[in-house]
Amino acid sequence: MTSDRHHSRLLVCILVTTWILFFIFGFIGHMLLENPVSESLFKSLQLFHLHYHPFPGIAESEGIDHSIPCWLEIARFGAGLWALSLFPALIGLFFEERLRLWWIRLFWQNHYVVCGECSRSLALVRDLRNSKQKVIMIGSCPPEGLNLPDKVVYLRGDSAEDHLLKRALVSRAKYIITLHENDRANIETLIAAARLCEKRSQTMKPVEAYAHISDIHLQSGLHHVFTTQGGFSNPRLRGNLFNYYELMARLMARKFPYPPILVKPNALPVHLIIVGFGSFGQNVALKFVKMAQQLYSLGENNLEKTWKVKKLRISIVDPEGDECFRQFSRSYPDFSLQCDCKVYNLSTRDKSFINLDFISPIDAEAITSLVLCLENESVTMSALDTLLDISRTSSPGIDHVFIRIARPERLYGLLEKLQPAGGSPKIVFFASDKEVFNANVLLNQSLDEMAEAFHNAYLEVEAKDQRKNNLPPAAGKTWEELSEDDRQSNREAADHTWAKLGLLGYGIEEVPVHQRKMTHNGIIAQLEELAEELAKFEHYRWMVWRVLNGWQYGSPRNNEKKLHPDIVEYEDLAESTKEKDRANIRAIIDMFRKGALRIQQ
């Protein structure tokens, strides 16, 4: 089944329309020869008679005009061509799919194989077709619900079945991406694809395989197996694991109104209410525990000063909140130590949630934002409407409401009209399918582009700051050689770019590769002037990460006791150490210069 059904309908329409047209031309031609209407109709039906004489039995010597009207000539020759084209047209009409698969089997390679259910995999398929890529989709959606782009081959069934992957020519593909919501289906598809790629030509690059794993603990356990050459007995497929809920959380983090990083001890804390604590909510919680913390200090000098993090307050609202949090804590036992977390076993229909009674007076004084991490969009919209009704009649103290809608373009501006007239709470929409499920994010890993640039910039200055007992594990390693923890550290620095520039009043956005161009606009000069201030922000962000994980000031560095000589004020750092923070800022400026970043319009 392909998306070319309209081509079949078009072919039938062309055949019927041309037949009717030639019939009308024939009828007009016979009428011009002064035939009766009934005889003209009968003769015009005989379009398949290629050798036809309009004056049978009449000799040329009788002086009769033997010329044939042009309408009849068109009908005669057109009908002949129509008859000749009818057979191949019918073959194409009834065997279109088999002919297409035969063509693919003979000639296709370096194509994309997308596996998964409707909405998210379809968003990726549309993006790939917009860039003119050849795509085969394997899924279990009802055919009438597909609405696939033109020239996409659809194979219905289980993507882990060998015969379907063989029909999709996975051994000759460039990418295979599996986006099932079921982790088991994604793992089985990846293993089956690896087995079939054993026969892949040695002259071709390995197939790049991307699989979504929503279980955070499972993803960590499988990472080594699927992302190292030794993980598969066949090196002709290279596995890449990702979690699209984590990508959504990262996109949300870039829109979060970060508070100042360095605050006074009595500053208001940040309070985040997460509604729904499935994989999506868990990734949001993890992201903001790392990204939305505030740093303060007690003491007068470095030897006496104790650095602390004003812990983020998180309220989890879920009908099965206790059980979800219990399972989550098995993978992240330190989570409760890094934030003040409360769990409420409430649904969005419970009176206590509707009235926001669960918000304590202490929480009400915090900077409060609410994130709807529900899987069902109907429930999400209903909960949003309830919250907005509350904001119109009372002051619940919520500054922002974050909401993910898969396809907001279908709501035709309705979302913008939901924004309360007073602007409070501010509604922020993020991570639509179009933003997340595209080749730039999933395959080119654009969210890691800046993180890799930061690491490369770090390598250039790290050698000048090497000190005894202070060699970091990332020193001298390429991005590909880094551990996942070190990569995650660079990702946090990259995502914090939105916070740094936000503190200076700038909103920024990434630019797709095909739209980039070198630029020398005013923002570059402004950032160069503010580079030292931005480097200071970066240092305090790094300190939050260290202090949150139990580190404090100490010299020399002691990994076992978690002592680090750089947990001090930025001004007290050595110049060679400051260069590490400045290197990140130079990388940001360079991305603006290359056109990879721009000021948000």
Spatial separation of the C-alpha atoms in residues 142 and 489, rounded to whole Å? 42
Consecutive H or E run containing 115: strand 112-115
Q: Could you tell me what percent of the chain has a pLDDT over 90?
A: 19
Phi, psi angles (nearest 5°) of residue 169? 55, 50
Farthest CA pair distance, the chain? 127
Packing angle between helix 484-495 and helix 279-291, nearest 10 degrees? 70
Spatial separation of the C-alpha atoms in residues 306 and 563, rounded to whole Å? 12
Reported as a pLDDT band with limits 50, 70 and 90, residue 343 is very high
CA 338 from chain centre, in angstroms, equals 29
User: What is the arithmetic mean of pLDDT over 54-83?
Assistant: 66
pLDDT, tens only, 485-516: 788 888 888 988 988 888 778 888 888 777 88
Looking at the domain 266-436, which fold is it? Answer: Rossmann fold (3.40.50)
CA 14 from chain centre, in angstroms, equals 40
Reported as a pLDDT band with limits 50, 70 and 90, residue 537 is confident
User: What is the arithmetic mean of pLDDT over 508-537?
Assistant: 84
CB atoms within 10 A of CB 5: 13
**In 3D, which of 140, 128, 219 has the Cα closest to residue 175?**
128
Spatial separation of the C-alpha atoms in residues 599 and 582, rounded to whole Å? 21
Rounded alpha-carbon distances, angstroms, from residue 101 to 69, 108, 323:
46, 10, 48
Q: In this structure, are strands 270-275 and 312-317 parallel, antiparallel, or unpaired?
A: parallel
Reported as a pLDDT band with limits 50, 70 and 90, residue 142 is low
pLDDT reading at 226 higher than 70: no
Spatial separation of the C-alpha atoms in residues 465 and 30, rounded to whole Å? 97
pLDDT reading at 378 higher than 50: yes
Q: In this structure, are strands 597-599 and 207-212 parallel, antiparallel, or unpaired?
A: unpaired
Spatial separation of the C-alpha atoms in residues 73 and 50, rounded to whole Å? 10
Where residue 476 falls (left for φ over 0; alpha for ψ -120 to 50; beta otherwise) is left
pLDDT, tens only, 21-34: 878 887 887 787 77
Spatial separation of the C-alpha atoms in residues 71 and 28, rounded to whole Å? 7
69-83, 121-135, 165-179, 304-318: least confidently modelled range? 69-83
Sequence-distant (6+) residues with CB within 8 A of 113 are 135, 136, 137, 138, 165, 168, 169, 170, 173, 175, 176, 177, 193
User: What is the arithmetic mean of pLDDT over 518-522?
Assistant: 74
pLDDT value, residue 273: 92
Residue pair 277/372 in contact by the 8 Å Cβ criterion: no
pLDDT reading at 282 higher than 90: yes
The burial of 281, by beta-carbon neighbours within 10 Å (0-12 exposed, 13-18 middle, 19 or more buried), is given as buried
pLDDT, tens only, 110-133: 899 999 877 889 899 999 999 899
Structure tokens at 145: 């619900």
pLDDT reading at 550 higher than 90: no
pLDDT reading at 570 higher than 70: yes
Residue pair 237/194 in contact by the 8 Å Cβ criterion: yes
Consecutive H or E run containing 457: helix 446-462
Spatial separation of the C-alpha atoms in residues 384 and 353, rounded to whole Å? 12
More confident residue, 18 or 101: 18
pLDDT reading at 560 higher than 60: yes
CB atoms within 10 A of CB 57: 5
**In 3D, which of 348, 374, 369 has the Cα closest to residue 253?**
369
**In 3D, which of 152, 166, 192, 222 has the Cα closest to residue 7?**
152
Q: Provide the residue type at 134 as one letter.
A: K
pLDDT value, residue 137: 92
pLDDT, tens only, 307-320: 888 888 999 999 99
Q: Find tokens 């396809």 and name the residue.
A: 407
Phi, psi angles (nearest 5°) of residue 128? -65, -40
> How is residue 252 annotated by DSSP?
H
- Domain 108-242 homologous superfamily, CATH: NAD(P)-binding Rossmann-like Domain (3.40.50.720)
More confident residue, 503 or 252: 252
> How is residue 241 annotated by DSSP?
E
38-42, 186-190, 319-323, 425-429: least confidently modelled range? 38-42
Sequence-distant (6+) residues with CB within 8 A of 228 are none
Residues in the chain: 601
DSSP letters along 397-450, please? -EEEEEE--S-GGGGTTHHHHTS-TT--SEEEE---HHHHSSHHHHTS-HHHHH
Residue pair 350/317 in contact by the 8 Å Cβ criterion: no
Q: What residues form DSSP beta bridges with 209?
A: 176, 239
Spatial separation of the C-alpha atoms in residues 435 and 248, rounded to whole Å? 9
Q: Residues 404-417, buried b or exposed e (16+ Cβ, 10 A)?
A: bbbebeeeeeebee
pLDDT reading at 2 higher than 80: no
2-11, 241-250, 538-547: least confidently modelled range? 2-11
Identify the three-state secondary structure at position 363: helix
The reply to whether 108-242 and 266-436 are identical in fold is: yes
Reported as a pLDDT band with limits 50, 70 and 90, residue 176 is very high
pLDDT value, residue 96: 65
Domain ranges of the chain: 5-93, 108-242, 266-436, 447-599
Spatial separation of the C-alpha atoms in residues 419 and 426, rounded to whole Å? 7
Spatial separation of the C-alpha atoms in residues 555 and 563, rounded to whole Å? 7
pLDDT value, residue 1: 44
Residue pair 281/373 in contact by the 8 Å Cβ criterion: yes
Mean per-residue pLDDT of the chain: 81
Residue pair 384/411 in contact by the 8 Å Cβ criterion: no
User: What is the arithmetic mean of pLDDT over 554-559?
Assistant: 83
pLDDT value, residue 230: 46
pLDDT value, residue 388: 73
Phi, psi angles (nearest 5°) of residue 302? -60, -35
